[in-house]
A and B are shown apart, each in its own frame.
Chain A
Amino acid sequence: MARNKFDVDEVLEDSFDVNQLKRLGNYIIPYKKQMAFVVFMMLSSSALTMLVPIFFQKIMDICIPARNMEQIMVYCGFTLAIAFYSAFALRMKIKHMSLVGQNIIHDLRSDIFVHLQELPFSYFDDKPHGKIQVRVVNYVNSLSDLLSNGIINTITDLCNLIFIVIFMFIEDVRLTLICITGLPILAVLIVFIKKRQRRAWQIQSNKQSNLNAYIAESINGIRVTQSFVRENENIGIFNDLSKNYRKSWMRAVKFNFIMWPCVDLISTITTAIIFVLGVRWILAPTPTMTIGVLIAFTAYISRFWQPINTLAGFYNSLLTAISYLERIFETINEPVEVKDAEDATQMPPIKGKVEFQDVSFSYDDGIEILHKINFTANAGDTYAIVGPTGAGKSTIVNLISRFYNVDCGRILIDGHDISKVTLRSLRKQMGIMMQDSFIFSGTIMDNIRYGNHDASDEEVIRAAKTVCAHDFIMELENGYETQVNERGSRLSQGQRQLISFARALLANPAILILDEATSSIDTETELLLQKGLNELLKGRTSFIIAHRLSTIKNADCIMYVDRGDILEKGSHEELLQEKGEYYHLYMSQYDFLKETENK
């Protein structure tokens, strides 16, 4: 799948089908008891409500002519009782359905979130984050009412409808049949517009997603936007997206608006036919209908169409919701590429021997990044990986943590194939510091402790001291309790790197991976850092990727990677002797000195 941009609609890969509806049912089934109870309350209360007009009739027909105030008061008492019962039923409905609605979206959201945690990097790399987010938060929210009150109302209305139809049949079969003929007409109409209506709502949800993605990016990239004075351009793009959103909304909502006039019109036409035919039957030489039946029937007609009206409303919201649901399920169905093998075992405590055996790897685009790589890293040693930008250095270390599965070959740690052990037990024993140092919003203490939540404050501080972060942290207004945020903007890049470094150390890993971990740290701090680290690195295997060669000179082994292969391997001195690529790289850093002399 191609990478998605904010202004490109996502292609829907799984369209909504019955299975997904079943799947949705699984979220509702746990609450069937509450649902049944509420349906019972609502039906009983609506049945009781029907008594009120009858009371009124009785008062008019019997009590008033008899001047019987006491009897009226009795009826009033009954009505009051019904009022309280209805109020109670309503209370129960609100109580249980809010609970059910909230629970269902809670469960649904939980499932999508948990699944997200298992998806590979590529899932997050391929689309703007705002588009993933809108599924977890906004789409799920929009389902709450539909899946609780919507279902209850539908069931209640269906029951009401059945009751009415039964009453109508008892009263007169012919008129009932006329009345019901309205339904197929309505059905045809619904089928006729359904496809377009669905499409319209799908488009709308795409536009919403695009807008959301752009807002997210605008906020995250605000510094770039301001420094490039792109405000006007961005406002233009934003307004285009906003306009598309509005247009798609207006288009989709029109389909919904068509529904009610249609239901109204069909119901009125059938009523008209019933009047006309009814009167004709009454007037026929041999009347087949009585006046009383026709009058009673006209009263039923409105009761017949009322639930259909609300059902039509439910249908409308269902169609809207499906365009959200299919996105939600699409995410939940997204296959997990890197996962535990079925017979995966726990990785025992790692000593630190890492072996690559004929490892080849390519990303989705099929271009081979690594080709049959072989090397063995001894436990406790420090390995540096150098090579030109984009040579596959990060890929090698990402494979050690099994962020991706190798295409062929094996990676062994202490002789265990890493594809045969559980991911958690493997990654728990590794400390990885990546190129992008991500800072979570919270305190600095929280951010360092992310590496190990059981660590005490003292341990956090010790880790910070080891990476030379303690001093600058103490200079902040609240020290370790200073609030930072995701963009980490109050910290310099180097400071953020130090914090993520401390975080990696606190994890007390057996294997430590530093991917450009110190690129934005000054040399002096780095030297101090290395002194502290030397002590810490003892007994741990570490892999270091760096462009500043002073950082890696002391590594036990330096591997020069390019063209998908390890071209050279050896200690700094050995590689210099070899006068190959590394030598060339090493010397190139003195080019600038030569140049000065040439001047």
Chain B
Amino acid sequence: MTPMKWFLSFLKKYRGLMIFGIILTFIITSLNIINPYISGLIVDKVIRGGEYDLLLPFVGLMVIVVAVKGGLRFVYQLVFETASQGTLYDMRDKVYRKLLQEDFAFYNKKRTGDLMSRQTGDMDAIRHFVAYVIYFTLENILMFIIALVMIFTVNVKLALCMLIVLPFTALCTYLQSKEVKPAFKRNRDCFSSLNAFVQENISGNRVVRAFSKEDYEIDKFNKENDAFRRAGIDASHVWMKYVPIFEVLAYSLNIILMLYGGYMVINEEISLGDLVMVNGYLWMLNNPLRMAGWLVNDIGNFVTSVEKIYATYSEEPNIKTPKKGISRKLKGDISFQNVSYRADDEDIVMDINFDVKAGQTVGIIGTTGSGKSTIMNLLCRFYDTTSGQVLIDGTDVKNLDLYNLRSNIGMAMQDVFLFSDTIEGNIAYGRPDCSFEDVKKAAIMADANHFIMAMPDGYDTVVGERGVGLSGGQKQRISLARALLKNPSILILDDTTSAVDMETENYIQKQLKNIGRTCTTFIIAYRISSIKDADLILVMDKGRIIEKGTHAELLKKGGYYATTFHNQYGEIPEDVLREDRSVSQKPTETNGKQSGKGGN
């Protein structure tokens, strides 16, 4: 499919409306000719000819024509605007749906600002085209044709002579459209780049301030801003070249008429009256010619934007839901069989083998960047394995319906992303229609209830994008509550408690144990305390599992796990064993007292 065909597929829906609009365009264009004609009649017949009875009817007709024309014009502008907004709406919807389907690999490469430009600036060029350029072009072509036909009826030779401008017009239109396209493309690219830069500056504003890099950012911004200005000016150089040519072409019609028309009258080939008549039609030839340059511009801009949007749209995600995907509630038996994953010529994980029974807990620990999160991403099919199989309940995840698969998995990610919504809205993200009681229950399990209640608006407190305004630990707990609320068969906690204190972690772990139903749980963590009760602990390094077993087994083994344990806890203080400190102590004691606002 070409970008244009793609665009037309949207317009098709509004075919009826567009045809109606075009018919109105015809009517109005013809009405445009009537009033000057009536004015002429008034001058000729009434004022000069003395037929005063005709004055009131003529004048009345004039007002009626204008009233009708005004009404029709209002209607057809609305018609085109409706078609344009409709097209835009459908297109935004399609593009948005596609964005939601794109896989991580796509998002790893694209800048947010670039993707946004497709949905904003580029869409606007399309709006302008459908709402305005289409009818305006038609109106002009129509006007040109009507005038030409009129002149042909007066005198064929004179009309043919005026046609001389057409090849020049065609040539200029062609050349300009060829030249203007790369200029617009550069313009759109610069726009996109500027947009992306500003977007990052806003998102990264904390880092900018922290490093006092305002001047550096302003310098960089100036470069983007200058480039965008440059591109705008360069594009204007194209029409600066062609628009004046069209102006001269328009004037050349006047000259042809004076010269050849005058010559013909002198040689009595046409009458003086004919000459006046043709002169009356001349503006209908002139105006379209003058507009041609601008219209070529608008069309060029439109074509560029459609191409840009389509280029993004047409990128197919590699990970798709299978055609006849299996859809059912999963139990949670998981098996990784010789799983490897490669990306960008880099082995991310290799030879991953392990089996988990439904309801078991798996702890994953290992060096930074060793592929722990990747394993989980393979389980959720955010990436597809390069070789080997990931099985859930004995079925390859690639054969499961993608959405069903993910519905069964609750995931609290390492990089907590919260939406600019209320806390309740954020926790209920996976189940927007669940009751407040459920939300609260999940929050209590994640030990988030206390600090939420301490906030000015409680669960209705709006948090900023990315959860700004909350401390790291608070964000993690909301993200945990969000995952728990999903009631998943498989729960993935990716470094979810790294920013909470030990007491809170203990509390959360206890809650997870009392979850009350089978739920296979994966816990990725750096603290031994987070995973030591797991039924299976995987120790990872450089993309491989280097140790596997339970806490006790691994301690005995004296490998990486044991070393980490000693590094973290050193010599266990004698107090621990001596003193009888209550295990079930409520960590919320301290949390309850703290003030609501996070420490960012």
- The reply to whether B202 and A6 contact each other, CB–CB distance below 8 Å, is no
- The reply to whether B420 and A213 contact each other, CB–CB distance below 8 Å, is yes
- The reply to whether A116 and B599 contact each other, CB–CB distance below 8 Å, is no
Name the interface residues of A77-100: CB closer than 8 Å to any CB of B: 79-80, 82-84, 86-88, 90-91, 94-95, 98-99
Using Cβ atoms and an 8 Å threshold, which residues of chain B touch A562? 590, 593-594
B456 → chain A closest CB, angstroms: 5
Name 9 interchain pairs, CB-CB below 8 A, sorted by A.
A2-B462, A137-B191, A250-B81, A265-B67, A391-B599, A394-B600, A476-B346, A490-B108, A592-B532
Main SS of the interface on chain B? helix
B197 → chain A closest CB, angstroms: 9
B194 in complex: contacting residue of A5, A137, A221, A494, CB < 8 Å: A137
- The reply to whether A489 and B107 contact each other, CB–CB distance below 8 Å, is yes
A526 → chain B closest CB, angstroms: 8
The answer to whether B206 has its CB under 8 Å from any CB of chain A is: yes
Assembly CA distance A594 to B407 (angstroms): 37
The answer to whether A275 has its CB under 8 Å from any CB of chain B is: yes
- The reply to whether B116 and A130 contact each other, CB–CB distance below 8 Å, is yes
- The reply to whether B599 and A392 contact each other, CB–CB distance below 8 Å, is yes
The answer to whether B572 has its CB under 8 Å from any CB of chain A is: yes
Given contacts A438-B207, A523-B526, A523-B567, contact A450 B213 (CB under 8 A): yes
Name the interface residues of A192-229: CB closer than 8 Å to any CB of B: 212-213, 215-229
Give the contact stretch, choosing among A61-69, A174-182, A458-466: A61-69
Residues 357-376 of chain B, each 1 if its beta carbon lies under 8 Å from chain A, else 0 = 00000000111111011000
Assembly CA distance A321 to B407 (angstroms): 45
B528 → chain A closest CB, angstroms: 8
- The reply to whether A272 and B63 contact each other, CB–CB distance below 8 Å, is yes
The answer to whether A138 has its CB under 8 Å from any CB of chain B is: yes
Name the interface residues of B18-48: CB closer than 8 Å to any CB of A: 35, 39, 42-43, 46-48
Residues 387-416 of chain B, each 1 if its beta carbon lies under 8 Å from chain A, else 0 = 000000000000000010011010101110
- The reply to whether B212 and A219 contact each other, CB–CB distance below 8 Å, is no
Assembly CA distance A465 to B256 (angstroms): 80
The answer to whether A596 has its CB under 8 Å from any CB of chain B is: yes
Task: State the 4 A-B residue pairs at the shortest beta-carbon distance, nearest first.
Answer: A261-B70, A389-B473, A83-B251, A494-B368
Residues 44-73 of chain B, each 1 if its beta carbon lies under 8 Å from chain A, else 0 = 001110001001101110110011011101
- The reply to whether B369 and A124 contact each other, CB–CB distance below 8 Å, is no
Given contacts A5-B420, A113-B218, contact A250 B116 (CB under 8 A): no
B48: nearest chain-A partner, CB-CB: A291
Given contacts A79-B254, A521-B368, contact A547 B116 (CB under 8 A): no
- The reply to whether A390 and B411 contact each other, CB–CB distance below 8 Å, is no
The answer to whether A435 has its CB under 8 Å from any CB of chain B is: yes
A310 → chain B closest CB, angstroms: 14
B64: nearest chain-A partner, CB-CB: A268
B485: nearest chain-A partner, CB-CB: A228
B186 → chain A closest CB, angstroms: 14
Using Cβ atoms and an 8 Å threshold, which residues of chain B touch A264? 66, 69-70
Using Cβ atoms and an 8 Å threshold, which residues of chain A touch B119? 215
Name the interface residues of A387-409: CB closer than 8 Å to any CB of B: 387-396, 398, 401, 403
A265 → chain B closest CB, angstroms: 6
B234: nearest chain-A partner, CB-CB: A98
- The reply to whether B532 and A91 contact each other, CB–CB distance below 8 Å, is no
- The reply to whether A223 and B451 contact each other, CB–CB distance below 8 Å, is no
B556 → chain A closest CB, angstroms: 14
B220 → chain A closest CB, angstroms: 10
Give the contact stretch, choosing among B9-17, B133-141, B164-172, B258-266: B258-266
- The reply to whether A117 and B208 contact each other, CB–CB distance below 8 Å, is yes
Assembly CA distance A544 to B77 (angstroms): 64
A58 → chain B closest CB, angstroms: 10
A216: nearest chain-B partner, CB-CB: B116
Name the interface residues of B534-579: CB closer than 8 Å to any CB of A: 551, 560, 563-564, 567-570, 572-573, 575-576, 579
Give the contact stretch, choosing among A26-34, A101-109, A150-158, A349-357: A101-109
Give the contact stretch, choosing among A12-20, A162-170, A276-284, A413-421: A276-284
A513: nearest chain-B partner, CB-CB: B210
Using Cβ atoms and an 8 Å threshold, which residues of chain B touch A102? 229, 232-233, 236
The answer to whether B288 has its CB under 8 Å from any CB of chain A is: no
Greatest chain B CB density within 10 A among A222, A260, A265, A295 is at A222
- The reply to whether B89 and A519 contact each other, CB–CB distance below 8 Å, is no
- The reply to whether A129 and B202 contact each other, CB–CB distance below 8 Å, is yes
Using Cβ atoms and an 8 Å threshold, which residues of chain B touch A5? 420-422, 462
Using Cβ atoms and an 8 Å threshold, which residues of chain A touch B221? 110, 113
B76: nearest chain-A partner, CB-CB: A257
Using Cβ atoms and an 8 Å threshold, which residues of chain A touch B326? none
- The reply to whether B600 and A226 contact each other, CB–CB distance below 8 Å, is no
The answer to whether A114 has its CB under 8 Å from any CB of chain B is: yes
B498 in complex: contacting residue of A94, A230, A520, CB < 8 Å: A520
Using Cβ atoms and an 8 Å threshold, which residues of chain A touch B367? 522, 524-525
Greatest chain B CB density within 10 A among A118, A219, A269 is at A219
- The reply to whether A215 and B120 contact each other, CB–CB distance below 8 Å, is yes
A86 in complex: contacting residue of B247, B343, B411, CB < 8 Å: B247
B266: nearest chain-A partner, CB-CB: A67
Main SS of the interface on chain A? helix
- The reply to whether A64 and B262 contact each other, CB–CB distance below 8 Å, is yes
A268 → chain B closest CB, angstroms: 4
A51 → chain B closest CB, angstroms: 11
The answer to whether A535 has its CB under 8 Å from any CB of chain B is: no
B200: nearest chain-A partner, CB-CB: A486
Assembly CA distance A365 to B469 (angstroms): 12
A134: nearest chain-B partner, CB-CB: B120
Other A-B pairs, 20, CB within 8 Å; known A487-B112, A547-B473: A3-B464, A64-B265, A102-B229, A106-B226, A124-B464, A128-B465, A137-B191, A246-B85, A249-B85, A282-B47, A295-B47, A367-B456, A390-B595, A485-B109, A489-B108, A493-B415, A588-B501, A589-B529, A590-B572, A596-B532
A95 in complex: contacting residue of B240, B502, B533, CB < 8 Å: B240
Given contacts A213-B420, A223-B382, contact A230 B211 (CB under 8 A): no
- The reply to whether A76 and B368 contact each other, CB–CB distance below 8 Å, is no
- The reply to whether B112 and A486 contact each other, CB–CB distance below 8 Å, is yes
Using Cβ atoms and an 8 Å threshold, which residues of chain B touch A238? 92-93, 96
Using Cβ atoms and an 8 Å threshold, which residues of chain A touch B1? none
- The reply to whether A589 and B251 contact each other, CB–CB distance below 8 Å, is no
The answer to whether B337 has its CB under 8 Å from any CB of chain A is: no
Assembly CA distance A476 to B369 (angstroms): 11
B199 in complex: contacting residue of A129, A254, A262, CB < 8 Å: A129
- The reply to whether A593 and B233 contact each other, CB–CB distance below 8 Å, is no
Assembly CA distance A586 to B462 (angstroms): 34
- The reply to whether B251 and A121 contact each other, CB–CB distance below 8 Å, is no
Name the interface residues of A280-306: CB closer than 8 Å to any CB of B: 282-283, 291, 294-295, 298
B168 → chain A closest CB, angstroms: 13
Using Cβ atoms and an 8 Å threshold, which residues of chain A touch B369? 472, 491-492, 494-495
Assembly CA distance A62 to B51 (angstroms): 30
The answer to whether A457 has its CB under 8 Å from any CB of chain B is: no
Using Cβ atoms and an 8 Å threshold, which residues of chain B touch A83? 247-248, 250-252, 254-255
B464: nearest chain-A partner, CB-CB: A125
Residues 494-528 of chain A, each 1 if its beta carbon lies under 8 Å from chain B, else 0 = 11011010010001000000001001111111010
Given contacts A86-B247, A523-B564, contact A365 B414 (CB under 8 A): no
Assembly CA distance A223 to B406 (angstroms): 11
A402: nearest chain-B partner, CB-CB: B209
Using Cβ atoms and an 8 Å threshold, which residues of chain B touch A536? none
B394 → chain A closest CB, angstroms: 22
Assembly CA distance A223 to B413 (angstroms): 9
B247 in complex: contacting residue of A87, A298, A547, CB < 8 Å: A87
B406: nearest chain-A partner, CB-CB: A229
- The reply to whether B368 and A522 contact each other, CB–CB distance below 8 Å, is yes
Using Cβ atoms and an 8 Å threshold, which residues of chain B touch A563? 593-594
Name the interface residues of B485-542: CB closer than 8 Å to any CB of A: 486, 495, 498-504, 506, 509, 526-527, 529, 532-533
A468 → chain B closest CB, angstroms: 8
- The reply to whether A129 and B430 contact each other, CB–CB distance below 8 Å, is no
